Amino acid sequence: MREAELRARLDKHLTYPYSLLWAQTYVIGALGQRTVEEALAAGLPCKQIWRCAWAELELAETHR
């Protein structure tokens, strides 16, 4: 998964610009107490970040 796809998925489920704010401010424990933006900057794989965001947002299995 590329960063553009990760951002598109966040936009789809949270809608822009809220998705951007969420990615910048919401701390996810499964990402080592990082936000999505911090996880990207730290070099974590986008697929891992999406799985953690997906779980945190309690999205349906079909959106995984």
Question: Distance (Å, rounded) from C-alpha 27 to C-alpha 37?
Answer: 10
Token output for 11: 């936009």
Over pLDDT 90: what percentage of the chain? Answer: 91
Question: Distance (Å, rounded) from C-alpha 25 to C-alpha 20?
Answer: 9
Token output for 9: 């998925």
pLDDT at residue 1 tops 80: yes
Q: pLDDT of 4-30, one tens digit each?
A: 999 999 999 999 999 999 999 999 999
Find out whether 1 and 44 touch, Cβ atoms under 8 Å: no
Alpha helix locations (H) across 15-61? 18-25, 36-41, 46-57
